[in-house]
Structure 1
Amino acid sequence: MKKNSKIENCANNLYNEFPKAEVFIKYAKKINVSEGILYVAEQEECHWFLDIMVQNCIMVSEIKYQKWKLLKNPDGEILVVALDRKCNRLLEINVPEKDFYFSSLTICKISNNLLMPCEQ
């Protein structure tokens, strides 16, 4: 092991046990969320991340598969990045410092449904 290797503190590593999403709950106009997403948002108090996705996914709505990443640097600054299936950046949003424990969280948007990557 490298002496200075950084261990990623990713929320997806903790919340990777959800079964394939079959039930979706209406979250906002034209956006549904899986039970896994609701559980993570409640446990980590990060509904604000879902709200950012809902407010901004309209700009890239023609792309059916999107991967949304919340990335927090050590200073607490947060960057939300939307990627397509080939990991091309679609959107990048700077977010004021929020109380979020993990360094990252990834949520997938398939059509109008938000789900955890493990729920695909």
Structure 2
Amino acid sequence: MKNPKISANEFYENFIGTENYYKYLLGLLLTDGVKSIADEEKCYWFLDAIASYQFEAKFRLQEFQVWKIERVIDTSFKLSATDGNNKVLVTQEIEFSDFFFKEFTIWKEGNVLLLPSEH
């Protein structure tokens, strides 16, 4: 049973590794876990945001990125990206989302978007 007080990563912790890669925008690839969560939770907007930032030089230079959405209050979220060493690359306010969980973290390694549990 889903719990809005946990992270999507906790709820979907059964994804370990991936068997398939799915083509996405701008040459990005999605793992089984990322695609399943995006499908089930209807949060392709999060993946679109990740893809859109890849045009910026500071993102092109980062082979590893940690992307996170965190509920601020009610239906507003904060999107953030770091280089994996807590150096913040960007933060953005998301004024409205119907995303169910309190947070969701995706790693970007090269051109692959994956769940931390799939690493």
Q: Is the shorter-chain TM-score for this pair beyond 0.5, marking a shared fold?
A: yes
TM-score by length of 2: 0.89
The more displaced of 7-16 and 65-74 is: 7-16
Q: Residue 40 of structure 1 aligns with which residue? A: 37
Q: Residue 95 of structure 2 aligns with which residue? A: 96
TM-score by length of 1: 0.88
Find the aligned partners of 1:78 and 1:101 in 2 and give their Cα distance: 11
1:56 to 53, 58, 66: 53
The gaps in structure 1 that reach 5 residues or longer are 1-6
SS at match of 2:100: coil
Find the aligned partners of 1:27 and 1:72 in 2 and give their Cα distance: 25
Number of equivalenced pairs: 114
Find the aligned partners of 1:107 and 1:15 in 2 and give their Cα distance: 12
Find the aligned partners of 1:44 and 1:24 in 2 and give their Cα distance: 19
Say what the alpha-carbon RMSD is for the aligned residues.
Answer: 1.5
The gaps in structure 2 that reach 5 residues or longer are none
Confirm whether residue 67 of structure 1 aligns to residue 71 of structure 2: no
SS at match of 1:85: coil
Identity, in percent, stands at 29
- 1:97 counterpart letter in structure 2: F
- 1:30 counterpart letter in structure 2: G
